[in-house]
């Protein structure tokens, strides 16, 4: 016999629904800004009473079929449409830099620096809040560990963490390798990483260098035992072919590498549009080859090109690839709320098992490439 629901459980369910309502409003806000941009380009008026009235009427009838008061639904829709029109007025006046089209690569790099300046201090905590991203990071860590274990302890010389962010991978590697160097474009992320090193890892040989990897890797040829680019970082670089060439150059013979790309064939992207807040921290805009990252009231467009597994193989022509996996497949499609509550641990275990079985397919959110320099 099922247990009777108490006020606590009902309150938790109401909280979940309320969160998703707010997510829907946020999704509607972004769509309204896209509509506003098209209206501006075409010279259309912001308020179109016939279209707005039809939308309210359709929603009211749909609400009635679900047992809701048509007047109640109409009042909610009216408030949402009024807010959208206000957003579009502000957008037209030039006060909102959202939905301005695809920007140049250099502008996207500048956006990345500006974004990381804002989020560097909260970056680690933010990614821990995303269930599918946590699952991916655990999977990626396990693959890194597999490759590291193939290298005998006396040959674990220099580890390079390219796109190191706040240093999570670098600090794990410093206990396995003689020396570690983390490279990143963002001085703010590196500042957080350096502070963590001084506080917790100062007895280890760890360096952090600010650099644009497309300008090269400032390491001697054949000097590195392992090179890693994690969490989709390889997709964040336009001239990744050059960077891969640099990776091969700096690796010693039989040195290992692991690179992570965004996967354009991920199950996640089979849906052209999903309005809920998904459990993956980052989702690619496939049309514009970018990430639209929201922080508070600002959206930052940063470069991120997705690849297919076949496309990734072509990037590594002439290099010995050990394995190509994609992960995760199922969990990124689910809303974050699906992982909240008492069943979440069992749910995580089930979804993790499914995603691990599917990692040898082609539909995970990230592509992980592992290989060895010949």
pLDDT tens digits, 193-207: 999 999 999 999 999
Q: What is the pLDDT of residue 96?
A: 47
- Burial class, 68, CB count within 10 angstroms (exposed 0-12 / middle 13-18 / buried 19+): middle
pLDDT at 97 over 80: no
Strands 224-229 and 251-262: parallel
Q: Is the pTM here over 0.75, yes or no?
A: yes
> Is residue 221 within 8 Å of residue 200, measured between CB atoms?
no
Q: How confident is the model at residue 355 (pLDDT cuts 50, 70, 90)?
A: very high
Considering the segment(s) 106-372 as one domain, its CATH architecture is 3-Layer(aba) Sandwich (3.40)
pLDDT tens per residue, range 70-94: 999 999 999 999 999 988 888 887 7
Q: What is the pLDDT of residue 3?
A: 61
Inter-CA distances, 365 with 165, 231, 329, 354, Å: 20, 10, 6, 14
User: Residue 372's closest CA among 318, 332, 293?
Assistant: 318
299 or 237: whose pLDDT is higher? 237
CATH number (1.10.579.10, 1.20.59.10, 3.30.70.100, 2.102.10.10) of 7-100 reads: 1.20.59.10
Q: How confident is the model at residue 341 (pLDDT cuts 50, 70, 90)?
A: low
The label of the residue with tokens 């506003």 reads 36
Each domain of the chain, given as residue ranges in start order, spans: 7-100, 106-372
pLDDT at 299 over 80: no
Q: How confident is the model at residue 337 (pLDDT cuts 50, 70, 90)?
A: confident
For residue 182, give both structure tokens: 């983390």
Q: How confident is the model at residue 349 (pLDDT cuts 50, 70, 90)?
A: confident
Spatial CB neighbours of 169, under 8 Å, sequence gap ≥ 6: 144, 161, 182, 228, 230
> Is residue 161 within 8 Å of residue 181, measured between CB atoms?
yes
Helices of type H across the chain: 7-42, 49-65, 70-92, 105-119, 123-128, 131-149, 168-173, 187-200, 240-250, 309-315, 344-357
Q: Angle formed by the axes of helices 105-119 and 187-200, to 10°?
A: 40
Largest interatomic CA distance in the chain = 75
- Burial class, 244, CB count within 10 angstroms (exposed 0-12 / middle 13-18 / buried 19+): buried
Alpha-carbon gap, residue 89 to 130, rounded angstroms: 34
pLDDT tens per residue, range 122-136: 888 876 668 888 899
User: Residue 91's closest CA among 35, 52, 53, 48?
Assistant: 35
Secondary structure (3-state) at 367: strand
User: Residue 115's closest CA among 168, 187, 171, 182?
Assistant: 187
Secondary structure (3-state) at 104: coil
């Amino acid at each position: 016999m099922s247990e009777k629901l108490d006020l606590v459980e009902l309150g938790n369910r109401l909280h979940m629904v309320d969160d998703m309502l707010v997510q829907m409003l946020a999704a509607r806000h972004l769509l309204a800004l896209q509509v506003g941009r098209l209206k501006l380009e075409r010279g259309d008026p912001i308020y179109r009473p016939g279209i707005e009235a039809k939308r309210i009427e359709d929603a009211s009838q749909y609400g009635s079929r679900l047992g809701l008061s048509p007047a109640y639904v109409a009042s909610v829709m009216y408030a949402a449409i009024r807010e959208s029109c206000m957003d579009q007025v502000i957008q037209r006046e030039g006060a909102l830099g959202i939905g301005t089209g695809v920007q140049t690569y250099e502008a996207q790099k500048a956006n990345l620096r500006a974004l990381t300046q804002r989020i560097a201090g909260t970056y680690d905590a933010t990614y821990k809040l995303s269930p599918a991203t946590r699952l991916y990071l655990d999977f990626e860590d396990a693959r890194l560990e597999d490759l590291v274990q193939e290298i005998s302890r006396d040959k674990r010389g220099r580890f390079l963490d390219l796109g190191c962010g706040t240093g999570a991978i670098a600090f794990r590697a410093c206990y396995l390798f003689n020396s570690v160097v983390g490279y990143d474009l963002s001085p703010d992320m590196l500042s957080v990483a350096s502070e963590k090193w001084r506080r917790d890892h100062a007895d280890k040989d760890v360096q952090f260098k600010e650099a644009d990897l497309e300008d090269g890797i400032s390491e001697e040829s054949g000097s590195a035992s392992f090179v890693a680019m994690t969490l989709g970082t390889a997709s964040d670089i336009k001239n990744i072919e050059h960077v891969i060439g640099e990776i091969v150059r700096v690796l010693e013979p039989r040195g290992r590498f692991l690179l992570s790309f965004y996967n354009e064939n991920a199950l996640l992207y089979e849906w052209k549009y999903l309005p809920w807040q998904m459990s993956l921290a980052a989702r690619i805009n496939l049309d514009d080859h970018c990430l639209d990252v929201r922080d508070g009231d600002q959206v930052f467009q940063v470069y991120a090109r997705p690849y297919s597994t076949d496309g990734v193989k072509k990037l590594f022509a002439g290099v010995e690839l050990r394995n190509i996996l994609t992960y995760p497949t199922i969990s990124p499609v689910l809303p974050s709320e699906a992982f909240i509550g008492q069943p979440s641990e069992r749910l995580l275990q089930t979804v993790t098992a499914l995603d691990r079985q599917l990692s040898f397919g082609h539909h995970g959110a990230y592509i992980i490439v592992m290989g060895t320099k010949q």
